[in-house]
Structure 1
C-alpha cells in the first residue's frame, strides 16, 4: 500500500519504506524539510496519520532494520553482523539455512552474492547429504568476510550518469 502512495519518491531513490516505517534520505536541511513536507502531504491526502511518539526527525545517522542510514548512504549495522562472526561453522542444514537467510538479507552489499553462496544453497537442498566440503567452507568464510567488509551503498544521483551492474 505504501509503495502505491509514494511511487515517485521511491523511484527518485530518497525514500525507504518497510511496512509502515518510512525513512527520508537527504543531504541538506532544506532538502529534508521539502521531502518531509511532500511525504506528510501525501499521507494526509490518503487520510493516514502518524504517531509523533514514534517519529524521529532529522538524524545524521539512523539505525533501522539492521542497516545504518546516513545521508544518502546505506550500510550494514556492524552490531548485527558481529553476532554471526562469533558463531562456529554450521553443523547441519538448519544452521546453513539460517546463515543464508541472514547473509541474503544483506545481499545487495555483497558483490557476486549468488555465485559465492551457490555451494551453500546446494548444500541446503532437500536431498543433499550434509558435508562441509572445501568449496562450501570457502563459501561460508567468504560470505562471513564479505559481511564485515561490505561497502556503503549510495543513492544514485539521478542527474549524473552511472553504470548499472546486474547480478542475475
Structure 2
C-alpha cells in the first residue's frame, strides 16, 4: 500500500517544478492545461506553439514525461473535472447533465444520496441550489420518514431544470476589476 499523502506530494512537486509557466499552464495533479491568447500581434496559435515549446523544455529539464495518447493539442474547449473549459468560460459536461436529466425519481434514501452526490458536484451552475434541494435534504435527516411529496418532486425537477439551463460561467479577467457579491439568504446555508 502506498503513502496516503503521495497524490498531494506529487501535485505539490509538479506545481513547484512548473511554477515558471503557471501563468499560461496551470497543473492539476498530472494534468497540465495550456491556455493561450493573441498577444503583441501574435495569433493565438502562435502563442500556443510558444507556450508548448516553453512547457516541453521545462518538462525535459525536470525529466517529466507526457503520454502523447492522452494529450490534446489546439482544442478550443477541454473536459476538466466534469466541466468543459474554453475561452468563453466553464460549463457542465453535457454527458453528466444528460445523466442527471435521465435520473429516475428516487424511491429511497440511498437513491436520493446517489442523485444528490452527482448533482451537488455541478451545483455551481444552479442558482440557489441549497435552497432548491432543501425538501430533499429533509429526507436525509437521521430519523426522517421516507415520504416523497409533491414538494420533493418539484425540488428534484428544479435541480434537473437548473442544470439543463446552466449558464456558461465566465472566468474572471484578472486585468479588470470585478466584485464578489454574497447573498444574505440565511435559509440556504448548508443546514
What TM-score results when the alignment is normalised by the length of structure 1?
A: 0.79
Residue 157 to residue 43, structure 1, CA distance change in 2 (3 Å)? same
Q: Which runs of 5+ in 1 are unaligned?
A: none
Cα distance in 2, alignment partners of residues 13 and 137 from structure 1: 44
Of 104, 111, 114 in structure 2, the residue corresponding to residue 88 of structure 1 is: 104
- The superposition leaves residues 112-154 of structure 1 with CA deviations (integer Å, 9 ceiling, x where unpaired) of 2222223222312332211122332221111110110101112
Residue in 1 that maps onto 2:30: 20
Aligned Cα RMSD in Å? 2.8
Which blocks of at least 5 consecutive residues in structure 2 are unaligned? Answer: 1-9, 38-43, 184-188
- Residue matched to 2:5: none
Relative to its length, the structure with more strand (as a share) is: 1
User: What is residue 75 of structure 2 aligned with on the other side?
Assistant: 59
Report which stretch shifted further, 111-120 or 38-47.
38-47
Q: CA deviation at 1:106?
A: 0.7
Q: For the residues of structure 2 that align with 1:16 and 1:74, how far apart are their CA atoms?
A: 17
Picking from 140, 149, 160, the partner of 1:124 is 140
- Match for 2:172 among 156, 161, 165? 156
2:123 match: 107
Question: Between Structure 1 and Structure 2, how many residues are aligned?
Answer: 166
Which has the higher relative contact order, 1 or 2, with Cα contacts under 8 A spaced 6 or more apart?
A: 1
Change (3 A) 1:9 1:60: same
Question: Is residue 26–residue 71 contact of structure 1 (8 Å, CA) maintained in 2?
Answer: no
Pairs within 5 Å for 1:127-142: 127-142=143-158
Superposition deviation, residue 9 in structure 1: 6.8
Aligned 8 A contact 2:24 2:34 in 1:
no
Report the CA distance between 1:166 and its aligned residue: 4.5
SS in 2 for 1:153: coil
After TM superposition, the score normalised by the length of structure 2 is: 0.71
1:81 CA displacement: 1.5
> Greater helix percent: which structure?
1
Q: Which of 1 and 2 has greater Rg?
A: 2
Quote the offset at 1:48 in angstroms: 2.3
Q: Give 3-state SS (helix, strand or coil) of 1:24's partner.
A: coil
Does the 8 Å contact 2:83/2:93 carry over to 1? yes
Structure 1 pair 74–37 and aligned structure 2 pair: CA distance change class (3 A): farther
